[in-house]
Every structure is written in C-alpha cells, then in structure tokens.
A = this chain, B = another copy of it.
Amino acid sequence: MLTPKLDHLIKQLQILPSVGQKSAQRMALQLLSKKRQQGINLAAALDIAMKEIIECRHCHSFSDDEICPICRDSRRDSSLLCVVESAADVMAIEQSGAYRGRYFVLGGHLSPIDGINADDLHIDELIARIKNEAISELIIATGSTIEGQTTAFFIHDAVCNHVTKITRLAQGIPMGGELEYIDSITLHQALQNRGSL
C-alpha cells in the first residue's frame, strides 16, 4: 500500500531502458530521501529536452536550434560527409574523437521486410545535398548489419556518379553490431582504416 504519488513515480521510472520494478523503487526512494532538489532539476532537464530538442534541419541530428552545433561549427571540414543511421551513432563517432567532418542522419536503415523503404528515410535529401555541396569524401557509416549494408549499397549506387570517393568504416566492427554500442577505440580504428566501397 504505497502512497499514490510514489507509486506513480515508480511506474513512470520504468519507461527508462533496463529499469525494472526493483531499480525504479530504489531510484524513487533515494531521490525522496536524499536528493529532492536534484530530482527537481532532473525533472526540469527532462521536460525541457523532450519538449524543446528538435531535429537539425541540415543533418537530422538532435539539436536545440534549427541548425545543430556540428553543422554550425566553421572549424569542421565541410568536404567530408559521414552518413549514419541515427543521432546515437553521431554521438558514438563524436566520442571516438577521430572525425572532424559533417554528418547526415538517415533516420534508420532500409528494411523492406519491415516496410522501411527509401521514402521513409532522408535518402532523397542526402542525394540532393551531395549534388549541391562540394564533397570530397562520403563516408557511409551505416551499421554492420545486413540492413545497414543494404542501405550502404543503395546510397552508393544512388550517388556514385556525384562524388569521387565513397568509403565505408573498416571491418573491425563485429558483424551484427549496432554503432551506438561500440566502444570508442574500435570506432577510432574503424574510422582510420576506412576503405573504398
């Protein structure tokens, strides 16, 4: 017989990935007993993030403003474009520290079996961007899964007449691995050893 607001908080905390009943309960009680102000701060950060973070109009990564900090940063090399499936992949590559170019987030990978076709991703926009910008190298960093590789070949075929150098992250990323779960060192090596597609 829990007091309703505590019961509700414990249920809500379980929307977080890998948080079950037991951890949710521990989280709620620890915040209530010792970290009320920090809990209020977390609630505010969460509310603001959910309501105000948008997709960058230029690369489709998460952004506070219309154009994200990476697209705005004039120190980054605009002739390098790295295509990834998700904003989580952008974060993983950024954390490897091995890349100083631009990004483009597809919003997923092709998967005809799940009904995900080129129209469901930002592929047309990517092709238009490649045609309009002076890109010296396109790095296709989709996942090392069957769908990620299918997506890579699809993009390669669509743009190979418009960009001379198209590369792919080096193998070293284990087969079946999703980018966002790969450690920084492996990502670093995969970026450095990238080869022609």
Could you tell me which A residues sit within 8 Å of B by CB distance?
1-6, 8-9, 11-13, 15-18, 23, 25-33, 35-53, 61-65, 68-70, 73, 86-88, 91, 94, 180
Known A38-B15, A47-B44; contact A64-B27, beta-carbon cutoff 8 A: no
**Chain A binding site: helix, strand, loop or mixed by DSSP?**
helix
Q: Which of B28, B44, B45, B94 contacts A49 (CB 8 A)?
A: B28
Write the chain B residue with the least CB distance to A14: B42
Contact A5 to B53, CB < 8 A, known contacts A25-B91, A29-B88, A29-B91? yes
CA distance A64 to B8 in the complex (A): 11
Residues of B contacting A18 in the complex (Cβ-Cβ under 8 angstroms): 23
Chain B residues in 8 Å Cβ range of A13: 42
Additional A-B contacts beyond A8-B45, A12-B42, A47-B47 (12; CB < 8 A): A3-B63, A8-B49, A12-B38, A15-B41, A15-B42, A16-B42, A18-B23, A25-B91, A29-B62, A36-B50, A39-B46, A43-B44
